[in-house]
Amino acid sequence: MFQEFQKLRTLLESRQGYATVIVTHQNADPDAVGCAFILQKIFSSFGIKAEVCLPGGPDRHAGRMLSALELPWKEECDQADMLLVCDTSNESMLGGASRLIENVGEILIIDHHRPPGNLTGKATLSLVFDEPASTVIAVLLADFMGVNLDSRASTLALAGILYDTRRYLVVSPNTFQASKILLESGGEYDKALRLLESPQDRSEIIAKLKGVQRASIIDVCGYLVAVTEASAHEATVANALISLGADLAIVAGGREVSRASIRVSKRLLEKGFDSSKLVSDAASLVGAEAGGHPGASGLSKYVLGRKLSSMKNEELRALLLLSIRMIENICREER
């Protein structure tokens, strides 16, 4: 990791005066914005003008945090000398910001999702590491660069780590090191927790109830796999199924894009189940893009018209068959 950090330091030292756009995936979550604002501090410390752009705007949680902490961001991304992509490495996840790729001089990537996406092949430098949150990588990078972080950015970054680790349920040693750095930089842990505690809107509640109602439950040698569809809020529905006792939740959705969200219980994670491998294998079968980490992953593919329904069915079939095979392998090892 630190060898790659040094490569980035060397590059930034030769880019003073450059204009950079820091962009995240669409519907940016707290981890994406936490990573983006830490990286803005790093680039600014090298004399590089860096603006945070959130294509389509942040999600509900991140939007509330940015408003409370009075941190500025843009929805329309301007052309710049460098494009820094945070918390994704898939071009399709950038929405309208993907238009910047053709004319930008350099592309840099900071991400924690596996497998790496198609943008890594176009990037000057990709820092993609197996950590529970992209913000963890950004904070360690700031510490390596000797960048001082203020209280607002540190509090936002803490919230980002709390969000993606599910309150430290999925962690690495670097997770706690990054959290220590943020607390020592003035990050307010209690405030970060409060920023995450926002009431659910009506559409999320309805999506969860309908998703649970439609779910099919399959018992695979003692592990419960829940499969369902949702018109929106796929990740929320998947998390709800896990909270109700499912070991693996697969939720298909999307309108113009065929999507699937996967979540894994702690019990199945402890047995070595890796949802990022599941979506990677499924993506290769159906020609989609995928990424994530062991406990949470996603799959997506742009489709048009009537093909959307058939694509969802194809994705679900591939994910279900592969997940059953993976769980059966775990069961054989337990015997």
Looking at residue 275, what is its pLDDT? 93
Give this prediction's pTM: 0.81
Q: What is the pLDDT of residues 87-110, one digit of tens each?
A: 999 888 888 888 889 888 899 999
Name which residue leads in pLDDT, 94 or 310: 94
Looking at residue 93, what is its pLDDT? 84
Which of 209-222 are b and which e, b meaning 16 or more Cβ less than 10 Å from the residue's Cβ? Answer: ebbbeebeebebee
Looking at residue 118, what is its pLDDT? 87
Looking at residue 306, what is its pLDDT? 54
Which residues make Cβ contacts (< 8 Å) with residue 331, sequence separation at least 6? 220, 221, 222, 223
